[in-house]
Chain A
Amino acid sequence: MPRRDDLPPEPKSGAITPPERYANRRAFLKQAGLFAGVGAAWGGGLIALSGRGAADPPPAPAPIPSGEAGDAWQRIARPGDYDTDEARTSFEDVTTYNNYYELGTTKSAPAENAHTLKPRPWTVKIGGEVAKSRTVDVDELIRRFGLEERVYRMRCVEAWSMVIPWVGFPLRALVAWAQPTSRAKFVMMKTLLDPEQLPGQRRPVLDWPYTEGLRIDEATNPLTLMAVGLYGAPLLGQNGAPLRLVVPWKYGFKGVKSITQIWFTESMPRTTWRVANAREYGFYANVNPEVSHPRWSQATERRIGSVGRIPTEKFNGYGEWVADMYRGMDLTRYY
């Protein structure tokens, strides 16, 4: 018989598993497993179902082209005449929070799907009421008109805004070069129609190809820009590479992306969002805090990168250069 102090010390009675619990150990383990498995599956499912729209890692800026095509990119003018000195929205935010339904209808989808869009080689057809129709390469346009930077506010119809340093050339230079006839009252622009490159066009969410337009005096206003880049580098797909319209006093949806056609017309073009819902989206779409969108107020906006709301300015603060064009027009009717 061993002596008592040869044995390991006995556990305290409270630490001993009660026999009925010991007998239940398999049932207990099974329940613990079911709890963990079902809890994780339910939680994971909910996160997957509700959690879309999360941000992506920032993409790299597009490379600046070398050789002849890159010359213009090395000599970007910065006249600054119309620039705002407000804080610029970060490159990451400008390139991950986009409305470009042809690349997906969530804000993050365009950045995720942009790789399908091939911005070079790229040609633009210019026609309609012009002296001579032509098809021209986008790099030819860049060489011909040169590049300048414009730091503009961009106000989305969804009541958020950004400050973006665009790179491009004034549309008025292209209009002068295209030599419109006296019958040309409007300029219409269309996005590339190619479901291979723009897979969102496989679903009839909008009437593809996306079509936008300006009155000829709006098109030749010195503020109106044909953008080919931002932050000093060529546009990424999600921002409308390689060529897009920027009209800073109008809501962002006027800024048609990835343009392949520029057409001069006598009658007002049927613009995409107006076709989709004429009561909510007009042809003019001038930023105007006094004219609410039927579903939400346009009185304030959130500047991306900050939390609070700021008052929205009429013509997005560009009234001194553009208000004259609308003198005598009822802007609540022609919204």
Chain B
Amino acid sequence: MAATVPVARRRPLRPLAWLQPAIVVGSLAPFAVILARGLTGGLGANPIATAMNQLGLLALIFLVASLACSPLRVLFRWRWPIKIRRTLGLMGFFAACVHFGVWLVLDQGLALQAIAEDILGRPFILVGFLALLLLLPLAQTSSQKAMRRLGYPAWKRLHRLAYVAAGLGVVHYFLRVKADVSEPLVYGVVLLVLFAVRAYDFRRQRSRRRAAALRG
């Protein structure tokens, strides 16, 4: 009889343990690229304008991606997107802050009067600024602790502002281009589709609840 070698039991790894770190590292990559290009002259003739364009677009991409998480669950019953929704939203907030910071410091040189005039007097800049302001309370209440403190229904209501912020971001982009509106249009359409999926899901759930209430 062969001697039995003790076999270690497999302690399974959490199956999606890799997802969150992968998204964090991948999300930080474009910031590193912009910084490296900026320091080596790789952003071209007008590096500040180019950096602002790229950071603004990045913020919009992150916000749209974070808003795609729930619709993906509705459409495909995937659960993994919800696990990275917070990370994507915070990355969007971070990109918007850097975008705003580059405008404030590098573009405007902290000329406070010109900055105030721009924010108050120019719809294009005001809309972008409002989008950033709306993201502030969302970033601040992004933790599990904050969610528990607010209670889930209130937290959920508050975080619907993410749609408004992303919508303002699209308008900000739309108002910025001079003639070629194709790209802002793409983001606007994607956002509308995501919103339509949410609205459809909301109505479906409500009618289910009603049906359940009638039966009960």
Q: Which residues of A contact B22 (CB under 8 A)?
A: 34-39, 42
**Considering residues B46, B107, B182, which has the most beta carbons from chain A within 10 angstroms of its beta carbon?**
B46
Tell me the complex Cα distance, A34–B16, Å: 9
Is the CB of A105 closer than 8 A to any CB of chain B? yes
Chain A: minimal CB distance from B103 (Å): 12
Are B180 and A55 in contact, with the CB atoms below 8 A? no
Q: Which residues of B contact A42 (CB under 8 A)?
A: 22-23, 26-27
Are A107 and B44 in contact, with the CB atoms below 8 A? yes
Tell me the complex Cα distance, A92–B46, Å: 12
Tell me the complex Cα distance, A309–B106, Å: 10
Contact with A along B104-115 (1 / 0, CB 8 A): 001111010010
Contact with B along A26-47 (1 / 0, CB 8 A): 0110011011111111111111
Chain B, interface SS category: helix
Is the CB of B13 closer than 8 A to any CB of chain A? yes
Is the CB of A239 closer than 8 A to any CB of chain B? no
Are A31 and B179 in contact, with the CB atoms below 8 A? no
**Considering residues B7, B9, B54, which has the most beta carbons from chain A within 10 angstroms of its beta carbon?**
B54
Tell me the complex Cα distance, A101–B176, Å: 16
Are A54 and B37 in contact, with the CB atoms below 8 A? yes
* Interface bin, chain B: 35 or more
Q: Which residues of B contact A28 (CB under 8 A)?
A: 13
Tell me the complex Cα distance, A152–B107, Å: 24
Is the CB of A65 closer than 8 A to any CB of chain B? no
Instruction: Please tell me which stretch of A165-173, A214-222, A254-262, A298-306 contacts chain B, meaning at least 4 of its Cβ atoms lie within 8 angstroms of it.
Output: A298-306
Identify which of B18, B37, B48 contacts A34 (C-beta below 8 A). B18
Are A296 and B10 in contact, with the CB atoms below 8 A? no
Tell me the complex Cα distance, A93–B114, Å: 27
Are B109 and A51 in contact, with the CB atoms below 8 A? no
Instruction: Please tell me which stretch of A16-24, A135-143, A320-328 contacts chain B, meaning at least 4 of its Cβ atoms lie within 8 angstroms of it.
Output: A16-24
Are B179 and A206 in contact, with the CB atoms below 8 A? yes
Q: Which residues of A contact B17 (CB under 8 A)?
A: 31
Is the CB of A160 closer than 8 A to any CB of chain B? yes
Closest to B106 in A: A307
Are B27 and A53 in contact, with the CB atoms below 8 A? no
Q: Which residues of B contact A108 (CB under 8 A)?
A: 44
Is the CB of B137 closer than 8 A to any CB of chain A? no
Chain A: minimal CB distance from B202 (Å): 29
Identify which of A23, A35, A299, A304 contacts B114 (C-beta below 8 A). A299
Chain B: minimal CB distance from A202 (Å): 13
Instruction: Please tell me which stretch of B67-75, B116-124, B146-154, B158-166 contacts chain A, meaning at least 4 of its Cβ atoms lie within 8 angstroms of it.
Output: B116-124
Is the CB of B42 closer than 8 A to any CB of chain A? yes
Interface size for A (C-beta < 8 A) is 58
Is the CB of A50 closer than 8 A to any CB of chain B? yes
Is the CB of A96 closer than 8 A to any CB of chain B? yes
Tell me the complex Cα distance, A19–B123, Å: 63
Are B50 and A20 in contact, with the CB atoms below 8 A? no
Is the CB of B214 closer than 8 A to any CB of chain A? no
Identify which of A20, A32, A53 contacts B10 (C-beta below 8 A). A20
Is the CB of B45 closer than 8 A to any CB of chain A? yes
Q: Which residues of B contact A101 (CB under 8 A)?
A: 179-180
Tell me the complex Cα distance, A276–B125, Å: 22
Are A54 and B42 in contact, with the CB atoms below 8 A? yes
Q: Which residues of B contact A38 (CB under 8 A)?
A: 18-19, 22-23, 26
Are B10 and A24 in contact, with the CB atoms below 8 A? yes
Tell me the complex Cα distance, A294–B21, Å: 44
Are B11 and A24 in contact, with the CB atoms below 8 A? yes
Q: Which residues of B contact A8 (CB under 8 A)?
A: none
Are A304 and B46 in contact, with the CB atoms below 8 A? yes
Q: Which residues of A contact B123 (CB under 8 A)?
A: 295
Closest to A42 in B: B26
Q: Which residues of A contact B207 (CB under 8 A)?
A: none
Is the CB of A205 closer than 8 A to any CB of chain B? yes
Closest to B95 in A: A50
Kindly list 18 other residue pairs between chains A and B, CB separation below 8 angstroms, not including A46-B27, A206-B179.
Answer: A18-B8, A22-B8, A23-B8, A24-B10, A38-B19, A43-B25, A46-B30, A46-B58, A51-B33, A54-B43, A54-B44, A101-B179, A205-B179, A205-B180, A294-B122, A295-B176, A299-B114, A309-B107
Chain A residues engaging chain B, CB cutoff 8 angstroms: 18-20, 22-24, 27-28, 31-32, 34-47, 49-51, 53-55, 89, 92-93, 96-97, 101, 105, 107-108, 158, 160, 203, 205-206, 276-277, 294-297, 299-300, 302, 304-305, 307-309
Shortest Cβ-Cβ A-B pairs, 4 listed: A43-B29, A55-B44, A42-B26, A19-B8
Chain B residues engaging chain A, CB cutoff 8 angstroms: 6-13, 17-19, 21-23, 25-30, 33-34, 37, 41-46, 48-50, 53-55, 57-58, 61, 106-109, 111, 114, 117-118, 122-125, 175-176, 178-180, 182
